[in-house]
Structure 1
Amino acid sequence: MAIGTLSHTSPVAASGSAAGSRKPLTIYVRANLKQHRKGKEANCPLSSSTMHTAEVLASRLGLDIAVAELERLFSQPGADPPDYGLNGGHRRPIRVAYQGVRGSYCHEAATTSFPSAAAVEAFPSGFWMEDAFSTLESGSADRAIIPAENSLDGPIDRNLDLLLRHPAIRITGELVVPVNHCLLAAPGVEISDLRRIVSHPQALGHCERRLQSLDLEVEEVDDAAEAARAVAEDRIRDTAVIGSRIAAKEFGLRIMEQSFHDEGGNYNRFLQLGVGDGPLHCGEKRKTTVAFSLEKGVSGLFRALWVFESRGIRVTKVDHRPNRANPVRLVSRAGGGELAQMDYVFVVDVEGGESDSRVAAAVAALGEISGFVRVLGSYACTCGA
Structure 2
Amino acid sequence: MAIGTLSPTSPVAASGSAAGSRKPRKIYVRANLKQHRKGKEDNCTLSSSTMHRAEVLASRLGLDIAVAELERLFSQPGADPPDYGLDSGHRRPIRVAYQGVRGSYCHEAATTSFPSAAAVEAFPSGFWMEDAFSTLESGSADRAIIPAENSLDGPIDRNLDLLLRHPAVRITGELVVPVNHCLLAAPGVGISDLRRIVSHPQALGHCERRLQSLDLEVEEVADAAEAARAVAEDRIRDTAVIGSRIAAKEFGLRVMEQSFHDEGGNYNRFLQLGVGDGPLYCGENRKTTVAFSLEKGVSGLFRALWVFESRGIRVTKVDHRPNRANPVRLVNRAGGGELAQMDYVFVVDVEGSELDRRVAAAVAGLDEISGFVRVLGSYACTCGA
Which category of TM-score, normalised to the shorter sequence, fits these structures?
A: 0.7 to 0.9
Shift in Å, 1:383: 7.5
Aligned partners of 1:127, 1:7: CA distance in 2, in Å? Answer: 24
The residue that corresponds to 2:114 in the other structure is 114
Aligned partners of 1:219, 1:230: CA distance in 2, in Å? Answer: 14
Counterpart contact for 1:82–1:91, Cα < 8 Å = no
SS at match of 1:340: strand
Q: Percent of counterpart pairs with the same letter?
A: 95
Aligned partners of 1:312, 1:273: CA distance in 2, in Å? Answer: 28
Q: Mean Cα displacement is larger for which, 121-130 or 323-332?
A: 121-130
SS at match of 1:213: helix
Counterpart contact for 2:173–2:272, Cα < 8 Å = yes
Counterpart contact for 1:102–1:247, Cα < 8 Å = yes
Kindly provide the CA deviation profile for residues 289-328 of structure 1, in whole angstroms up to 9, marking residues without a partner as x. 0000000000000000000100111110000000001000
Counterpart contact for 2:102–2:247, Cα < 8 Å = yes
Kindly provide the CA deviation profile for residues 138-176 of structure 1, in whole angstroms up to 9, marking residues without a partner as x. 111000000000000000000000000000000000000
Structure-2 change in CA distance of 1:313 and 1:104 (3 Å): same
SS at match of 2:51: helix
Aligned partners of 2:75, 2:27: CA distance in 1, in Å? Answer: 20
Structure-2 change in CA distance of 1:277 and 1:42 (3 Å): farther
Structure-2 change in CA distance of 1:338 and 1:92 (3 Å): same
Structure-2 change in CA distance of 1:270 and 1:44 (3 Å): farther
Counterpart contact for 2:7–2:94, Cα < 8 Å = no
**Structure 2: stretches of 5+ with no match in the other structure:** none
Aligned partners of 2:56, 2:335: CA distance in 1, in Å? Answer: 80
Q: Mean Cα displacement is larger for which, 6-15 or 136-145?
A: 6-15
SS at match of 2:27: strand
Kindly provide the CA deviation profile for residues 82-133 of structure 1, in whole angstroms up to 9, marking residues without a partner as x. 9999999894111110001110000000001011223865555431101111
Structure-2 change in CA distance of 1:321 and 1:219 (3 Å): same
Structure-2 change in CA distance of 1:379 and 1:260 (3 Å): same
Counterpart contact for 1:150–1:269, Cα < 8 Å = yes
The residue that corresponds to 2:375 in the other structure is 375
Q: Mean Cα displacement is larger for which, 269-278 or 171-180?
A: 269-278
Counterpart contact for 1:176–1:268, Cα < 8 Å = yes
Shift in Å, 1:39: 14
TM-score (norm 2): 0.79
Q: Mean Cα displacement is larger for which, 65-74 or 266-275?
A: 65-74
Aligned partners of 2:18, 2:98: CA distance in 1, in Å? Answer: 47
- Bigger relative contact order, structure 1 or 2 (CA pairs below 8 A, ≥6 apart): 2
TM-score (norm 1): 0.79
Structure-2 change in CA distance of 1:27 and 1:138 (3 Å): closer
Shift in Å, 1:277: 4.2
Kindly provide the CA deviation profile for residues 332-351 of structure 1, in whole angstroms up to 9, marking residues without a partner as x. 11111111000000000001
Counterpart contact for 2:197–2:242, Cα < 8 Å = yes
Structure-2 change in CA distance of 1:113 and 1:216 (3 Å): same
Shift in Å, 1:22: 32
Q: Mean Cα displacement is larger for which, 55-64 or 299-308?
A: 55-64
Q: Mean Cα displacement is larger for which, 275-284 or 148-157?
A: 275-284
Structure-2 change in CA distance of 1:142 and 1:332 (3 Å): same
The residue that corresponds to 2:336 in the other structure is 336
The residue that corresponds to 1:185 in the other structure is 185
SS at match of 2:287: strand
Query: After TM superposition, where is structure 1 displaced by more than 2 Å over at least 4 residues in a row?
Result: 1-91, 117-126, 276-284, 381-385
Q: Cα RMSD between the aligned structures? A: 10.2
Q: Mean Cα displacement is larger for which, 141-150 or 90-99?
A: 90-99
The residue that corresponds to 1:311 in the other structure is 311
Aligned partners of 1:147, 1:78: CA distance in 2, in Å? Answer: 42
Structure-2 change in CA distance of 1:24 and 1:7 (3 Å): farther
Counterpart contact for 2:2–2:97, Cα < 8 Å = no
SS at match of 1:55: helix
Counterpart contact for 1:95–1:121, Cα < 8 Å = no
Structure-2 change in CA distance of 1:320 and 1:28 (3 Å): closer
SS at match of 1:40: coil
**Structure 1: stretches of 5+ with no match in the other structure:** none
Structure-2 change in CA distance of 1:78 and 1:314 (3 Å): farther
Counterpart contact for 2:330–2:339, Cα < 8 Å = yes
Kindly provide the CA deviation profile for residues 42-71 of structure 1, in whole angstroms up to 9, marking residues without a partner as x. 999879999999999999999999996433
Q: Mean Cα displacement is larger for which, 73-82 or 10-19?
A: 10-19
SS at match of 1:119: strand
SS at match of 2:35: helix
Counterpart contact for 1:99–1:129, Cα < 8 Å = yes
Counterpart contact for 1:39–1:45, Cα < 8 Å = no
Q: Mean Cα displacement is larger for which, 205-214 or 15-24?
A: 15-24
Counterpart contact for 1:78–1:113, Cα < 8 Å = no
Shift in Å, 1:384: 13
Structure-2 change in CA distance of 1:30 and 1:365 (3 Å): closer
Q: Mean Cα displacement is larger for which, 35-44 or 227-236?
A: 35-44
Counterpart contact for 2:3–2:122, Cα < 8 Å = no
The residue that corresponds to 2:259 in the other structure is 259
Q: Highest Rg: 1 or 2? A: 1
